[in-house]
Chain A
Amino acid sequence: MADWQYRFQQSLGLMGLMFEAVIYLVVWTTVAQSQGGEVGGFTTAELASYYIGWMLVRNITTGWSPQWFEYRIREGEFNSALLRPVHPYFPDISHMMAGKTTGLITLLPTMAILALIFQPEVHFLAWSLIAMVPALILAFLLRYTLMYVWALTAFWTTRITALFELYFALEFFFSGRIAPLALLPDWAQTIALYTPFPWTFAFPLELMLGRLTPNEALFGFAMQAVWLIVAVIAVRVIWRRAIRHYSAVGG
């Protein structure tokens, strides 16, 4: 019985992912068609390729939310993590990656079916596709670590929700999740470059679609590396404080 619970839960998650992508696709396609078939340099077929590739990137770059940490703390499950001679960051990553692997098994065929329906147009570039792989991994690590920082705040307070929602909203726009970055106004695109957000999502997606020059790719990798270092330092600093607080107040 419980086995079906997991499959059901995961299917729901994937359906949500799929619906989100399709909704964006439909909306932007409508806009494009009303403008003569193109918006922000994207044809409707190119939009289709963006949002289908979107699904893969979205699946790979999820991370733990503060709510999940809050739950674990409340249920006392964090104590067992703290008793082990390994930093919880690592088993938490394995846990996350396990979910993604099983998700891919359903996701890839779904993407294929959607491709048949929406007729995307892509010009794959071999080097770009290969570069996408490390970019995806780094995007996952970066986004995961950034969310881990937020998740750690669950040790202090349950009232972080509003701030987190704001962060999430900014991420929606500046990461390429709601729309390709090229569709943002110029000033917004400039701001985005100073945030970690494009490197957690848009970067590997655009590599997949062969839309970047080699120089842009190198710049992207450099930004991913820089932001990852910043995020890791943030986790270390906050972790120490979080543990001190946790062990002062008790599990």
Chain B
Amino acid sequence: MESAISVKELSKTYMVNERSAGMRAALRGVFRRKKKEVKAVQSISLEIEPGEIVGFLGPNGAGKTTTLKMLSGLLHPTGGQGLVLGYEPHKREKDFLKQITLVTGQRNQLVWDIPAIDSFEVNQAVYEIDRDQFKRTVDEYIEILELEELVRKPVRQLSLGERMKVEIAAALLHRPKVLFLDEPTLGLDVPMQRRIRRFIADYNKQEGATVLLTSHYMADVQALCKRVIVIHHGELLFDGQLSELVQQFTGYKEIVVEPKDRATDLSRYGEIMSEDAGRISLRVPRKEVPEVAAKLLADVPMFDLSVEEPPIEDVIERVFAEGKLETSN
């Protein structure tokens, strides 16, 4: 089966004018511009099959958004090749654009001053959606996302969460086969995040669409993505199952103890990660967990003890901070 997204050694390098502060530097800049190379994306390769939902993780500036923009045709790569549904995105062919969608935090689909339902109509014309199919899709999305009250109001009168719901509906009206979602739940409250996640999951199941999703919220990634790609400083650090990332590539687990005496010093059992309302989190190498847990249970009078996987946020944070993955030994 041909990949939905096929990326080979994709690179993006920007030339930026660099200038230090001060008058002298400013004057010098008139005569000679110092150029600096910024490697936003460095030789990334990956293959994504149709129907996959892949999480794209990385800190700010890692190259996630640049990659998404290259795959949706907004940016020209400086090296390598990306193919989406067999098309070269930067050529911006009509048939290509009709099959993809890019949702970012910026206002995309909706015209600000008119009711969303009118923007939907514009999309129907622009994407040449069959009239009957369009009506069915609109009704379906209105029902699923509870947009009934919202679609007839001018978009600028909607709250952020409401706007995001309508944006996503508009973005999927033409039933694209490939979705590029850049932080789709940013700034939304938890119930709204859940609703949008469910919508994306259902859409993926129904349409067999391929989804490439970036997010800072681990909840998004955990809920939707079996496969994650970690990118940092423009380089691909990890491409595999999320569970793999956590289990294999962190050598640690967390033991959370609630000792009867809050002042108990547990530092000789492991690295103390946090102390919160009497619950102390210890970071313990995986292999040593049974032993340490047994020792704690024997030595320390306590209310509770539990063994947990480290929160994914911590795993990711550590990956970013160290720029590589620590393997368990």
Chain A residues with CB under 8 A of B90: 247
For residue B127, which residue of chain A has the nearest CB?
A: A85
**Interface stretch (choices B103-111, B194-202, B208-216, B262-270):** B103-111
User: When the two chains form the complex, which single residue of B94, B107, B156 contacts A77, counting CB atoms closer than 8 Å?
Assistant: B107
| Chain B hits for A77, CB < 8 A | 106-107
Give the residues in chain B near A84, CB-CB below 8 Å.
Answer: 97, 126-127
Which residues of A (63-103) have their CB < 8 Å from a CB of B? 75-77, 79-80, 82-86, 91
Q: A247-B75, A250-B14 are in contact. Are A85 and B97 (CB under 8 A)?
A: yes
A77 to B66, CA, bound (A): 17
Chain B: which residue is nearest A86 at the CB level?
Answer: B126
Docked complex Cα distance between A248 and B122 (Å): 29
A4 at the interface (CB under 8 A from B): no
B73 near A83 with CB under 8 A, answer yes
Known contacts A6-B113, A77-B107, A248-B76; A83 and B102 CB within 8 A of each other: yes
Cα-based distance from A85 to B14 in the complex (angstroms): 27
B75 in contact with A250 (CB, 8 Å):
yes
Chain A residues with CB below 8 A from B101, complex form? 83
- CB of B321 within 8 Å of the partner chain: no
* B10 CB, nearest partner CB in chain A, Å: 14
- Given contact pairs A83-B73, A83-B97, A249 touches B106 in the complex (Cβ within 8 A): no
**A244 at the B interface (CB under 8 A):** yes
Q: Per-residue CB proximity of A160-180 to B under 8 Å, as 1/0?
A: 000000000000000000000
- One digit per residue, 1 when the CB lies within 8 angstroms of any chain A CB and 0 when it does not, for chain B 60-92 equals 000000100100111110100000000000101
A14 CB → nearest B CB, Å: 19
Q: Which of B100-140 contact A (CB under 8 A)?
A: 100-102, 104, 106-109, 113, 122, 126-128
In the complex, the answer to whether A249 meets B14 with C-beta atoms within 8 Å is: yes
Instruction: Give B97's nearest chain A residue, CB to CB.
Output: A85
Q: Is A13 an interface residue (CB 8 A)?
A: no
- B interface residues, how many (CB within 8 angstroms): 30
Could you tell me if B74 and A247 are in contact, using CB atoms closer than 8 angstroms?
Answer: yes
Q: In residues 164-221 of chain A, which contact B (Cβ within 8 Å)?
A: none
> Are A85 and B76 in touch, CB under 8 angstroms?
no
B226 interfacial contact with A, CB 8 Å? no
Contact B75 A76 (CB under 8 A): no
**B98 proximal to A (CB < 8 A):** yes
Tell whether, in the assembled complex, residue A85 and residue B106 are in contact, meaning their CB atoms are under 8 Å apart: no
Closest partner residue, chain B, to A79 (CB atom) = B74
Q: Across the interface, do B94 and A85 meet the contact criterion of CB distance under 8 Å?
A: yes
Report chain B residues within 8 Å CB of A79: 69, 74, 102, 104, 106, 108
C-alpha spacing A75/B106, complex, angstroms: 9
Say whether B108 contacts A83, CB under 8 Å: yes
Judged by a CB distance under 8 angstroms, whether A2 is at the interface is yes
- For the complex, give the distance between the alpha carbons of A5 and B16 in Å: 40
Query: How far is the CB of A176 from the nearest CB of chain B, in Å?
Result: 34
A80 lies within 8 A of B69 (CB): no
- Determine whether A251 belongs to the interface, using a CB cutoff of 8 Å to chain B: yes
* A86 and B125 alpha carbons, distance in the complex (Å): 10
Closest CB of chain A to B124's CB: distance in Å?
12
CB of B127 within 8 A of CB of A251, answer no
In chain A, positions 1-41 with a C-beta closer than 8 Å to chain B are 2, 6
A249 CB contacts on chain B under 8 angstroms: 14
Q: How far, in Å, is B70 (CB) from chain A's closest CB?
A: 9
Q: A2-B113, A85-B127, A86-B126 are in contact. Are A247 and B76 (CB under 8 A)?
A: yes
Distance A6 CA – B113 CA, assembled complex (angstroms): 10
Query: Does the CB pair A80–B94 fall under 8 Å?
Result: no
Interfacial residues, chain A to chain B (CB-CB below 8 A): 2, 6, 75-77, 79-80, 82-86, 91, 243-244, 247-251
Sample (29) of A-B pairs whose CB atoms are under 8 Å apart: A2-B113, A2-B154, A2-B156, A75-B106, A77-B107, A79-B69, A79-B102, A79-B104, A79-B108, A80-B107, A80-B109, A82-B73, A83-B100, A83-B108, A84-B126, A84-B127, A85-B97, A85-B126, A85-B128, A86-B94, A86-B126, A243-B92, A247-B73, A247-B74, A247-B90, A248-B78, A250-B66, A250-B75, A251-B69
B residues lining the A interface (CB < 8 Å): 14, 66, 69, 72-76, 78, 90, 92, 94-95, 97-98, 100-102, 104, 106-109, 113, 122, 126-128, 154, 156
